[in-house]
Chain A
């Protein structure tokens, strides 16, 4: 069975550009969450979507947005990129969308903003 898949794996963007990151959850999982991990830190929660509805939002500016599609895949969009947005972006999926079931993480997208 395929795990959580993210694309692309690496990305280089220029300040001011926008970026779209993609995530496909494990088959049968209806919840997708996004995390940002800057170097040397733990992952920080950005968004959670469950059944195409936003269920949670972390402390990130409005430049960050996301959506979930009918097939439960998800996109994370970041506008007006800043150097500080350089990070590993991780996607996680789970069945119930609540901590009672395991969240499985993808391999991440490493974004570099220059």
Chain B
């Protein structure tokens, strides 16, 4: 069965600190896709990244970076030099590629304190 676990319910850090959001997933498929979404208070889910199961290269986009490790079934997300605008709920998610069904974790609420 597919499952996404985000063990950190809520994190608070002071602005400019680095912060890592953890994500562990479960799937029996060899082909799957992993995602991170950001949900600001307005409610809309903002796509951040998609990674397929055959590409374990880490990715960096500005202050954001993602570490995908199949050996530990983890797909962690790091924000470097955090800013107040990064405050939001972040969701890690999994899709097995047969359809658009996306399995979301419960989310991590991130507070960046000025």
Question: Could you tell me which A residues sit within 8 Å of B by CB distance?
Answer: 31, 33, 35, 40-45, 48, 50, 55-56, 58, 88, 90, 92, 94, 97-100, 102-108, 110
Given the known inter-chain contacts A42-B91, A42-B107, A107-B42, please indicate yes or no for A102 contacting B47, CB distance below 8 A.
yes
Given the known inter-chain contacts A42-B91, A99-B95, please indicate yes or no for A56 contacting B101, CB distance below 8 A.
yes
Is B55 part of the binding interface, using a Cβ–Cβ cutoff of 8 Å? no
Complex CA distance for A16 and B37, rounded to whole angstroms: 34
- Whether B50 lies near A55 (C-beta < 8 A) is no
**Which residues on the A side are within 8 Å of B102 (C-beta)?**
33, 35, 43, 45, 92, 99, 103
Give which listed residue, A42, A50, A98, A103, contacts B105 with CB less than 8 A: A42
Question: Could you tell me which B residues sit within 8 Å of A by CB distance?
Answer: 4, 32-33, 37, 42-47, 50, 52, 91, 93, 95-107
Main SS of chain B's interface residues?
A: loop
The total of interchain contacts (Cβ-Cβ below 8 angstroms) comes to 77
Given the known inter-chain contacts A42-B104, A48-B101, A56-B100, please indicate yes or no for A99 contacting B33, CB distance below 8 A.
yes
B79 to chain A, nearest CB (A): 19
Query: What 3 A-B pairs are tightest by C-beta distance, nearest first?
Result: A99-B95, A42-B104, A105-B45
